[in-house]
Chains A and B, each alone.
Chain A
């Protein structure tokens, strides 16, 4: 349970401990996994508003006249579609048909200035990969300059309004805004507000200078008291994203699985451009995809967990569970997993091997929650 002393610390590390969070090592960082009870934190985000310290996420800046060309080559989605103030979910493919990471690209200035948010666990690998495959852009690792706070939940915009004095609820998802907040010393601090998230709720992710992160965090918790705001740990972050069937690198996606099999074809634009790994990814699709990522619900008792094997009705192994938990919202077990194409239709019955018992489950539609 103890997190190693080598783990990096976000600017909120002491703050989490003071608030009684249970800290664990995650992706090389000491992070809060839980403050109170996972279920309560999960429900707080679904019904009110929760704050997440996501300062461990990496931020890589791509700038200069070749910024667009470089990103077009490095990513699968069409970056040319982005104007300043817009963001897109995208993938960082390798050359063999798998993924280096999944990312969000934030356009700060059309053609010449982008911020790329990457997974903490992949940051160094991503940065090296970008440098190695650079098409002439200025690529800078800004991860130690940016803290990041996610504000998520049906009351997220009420809270943001209290801080930024502006109604952001009419702003489209995947927008990027330059704004200022007044810190506790009365100084104005520049931040980037992105209307993105990883919970399925409305809200924003705020990029804030490292040294001002705690000030903004305390302000959000303080002003949000009447809205029922709570800090939320990584435990609930995982159950929230699982209920939405959002992919997590190392679980649903990795350096081997074709992203079309992961259901991420909507973020791949092979007709718009050439990109790293394009032919390998397309070849996988043309030769026929082997498997498909699906949602699972249990017909008999048991909770599907990561790496449990999945079996067809005829007894053959059809795949494996990539993520599974007891859904706090539905109060039932849910799972995400790969199954063969033949088993992937909604309603199809399969079996999960739970500690040697074959337990009946069914492919179901996702997201798991309405």
Chain B
């Protein structure tokens, strides 16, 4: 399967991607995750200002068949939420790497990035699935 796995991003074992711009981290789910879940029909996201913690759930996506937690790649404060997805999750299905982004986090410390995967390791992870 030809999933887009941009080299610049970081990845979690739970199939979130993190795009880092200085101390701002944009978070979404990978195309692989979207494909595994099937069409996402419901999204639950945190409020702006909410604190999130690395490896802890910050929201939920639901497909017809299942509920899946979303895990934060870094600790920090939510500064922006893609609330359009709450009314219509279509962008999350059509383009999870761009229009389907979920939240932007002001991260507490860059050090946590070292615990995330880079594209090469993430490719290996999904190749095993």
Contacts and interface: CB of A to CB of B under 8 A. Distances in A.
Interface of A: 1, 34, 37-39, 42, 235, 238-239, 301-303, 305, 325-326, 328, 331, 333, 355
B67 A305 contact: yes
Contact of B65 (A235, A301, A302): A235
Given A38-B65, A235-B65, A305-B67, A355 B60 contact: yes
Contacts of B38: 34, 37-39
Nearest to B86: A301
A326 B129 CA distance: 26
A34 B38 CA distance: 10
Contact of B42 (A37, A238, A303): A303
Contacts of A38: 38-39, 63-65
B41 interface: yes
A326 B41 contact: yes
B62 interface: yes
A336 to B, nearest CB: 15
B42 A39 contact: no
16 contacts: A37-B38, A37-B39, A38-B63, A38-B64, A38-B65, A39-B38, A39-B39, A302-B42, A303-B41, A303-B42, A325-B64, A325-B65, A326-B63, A331-B41, A333-B42, A355-B44
Given A34-B38, A37-B38, A38-B38, A303 B62 contact: yes
B60 A326 contact: no
A259 B23 CA distance: 59
A238 B65 CA distance: 9
Interface centre among B38, B65, B67, B129 (most CB of A within 10 A): B65
Given A37-B38, A39-B38, A301-B42, A326 B64 contact: yes
Contacts of A326: 41-42, 62-64
Given A37-B38, A38-B63, A305-B67, 14 more contacts: A1-B129, A34-B38, A37-B39, A38-B64, A235-B65, A239-B64, A301-B42, A301-B86, A302-B42, A325-B65, A326-B41, A326-B42, A326-B64, A355-B60
Contacts of A325: 64-65
A218 to B, nearest CB: 26
Contacts of A305: 67
Interface in B48-93: 60, 62-65, 67, 86
Contacts of B39: 37-39
A34 B65 CA distance: 11
A49 B42 CA distance: 28
Contacts of A239: 64-65
B60 A328 contact: no
Contacts of A302: 42
Nearest 3 CB-CB pairs, A to B? A326-B41, A326-B64, A38-B64
A42 B64 CA distance: 11
B42 A328 contact: no
Contacts of A1: 129
Nearest to B60: A355
Nearest to B39: A39
Given A34-B38, A303-B41, A326-B41, A39 B64 contact: yes
B21 to A, nearest CB: 31
Nearest to A2: B129
A38 B38 CA distance: 7
Nearest to A355: B60
A331 B42 CA distance: 11
Contacts of A37: 38-39
Interface centre among A238, A305, A326 (most CB of B within 10 A): A326
Contacts of A238: 65
Contacts of A34: 38
A355 B62 CA distance: 13
A162 to B, nearest CB: 31
A305 B129 CA distance: 27
B64 A235 contact: yes
Contacts of A39: 38-39, 64
Nearest to A1: B129
A337 B65 CA distance: 17
Interface centre among B41, B60, B64 (most CB of A within 10 A): B64
Contacts of B63: 38, 326
Nearest to B57: A355
A206 B44 CA distance: 43
A328 B106 CA distance: 37
Contacts of B41: 303, 326, 331
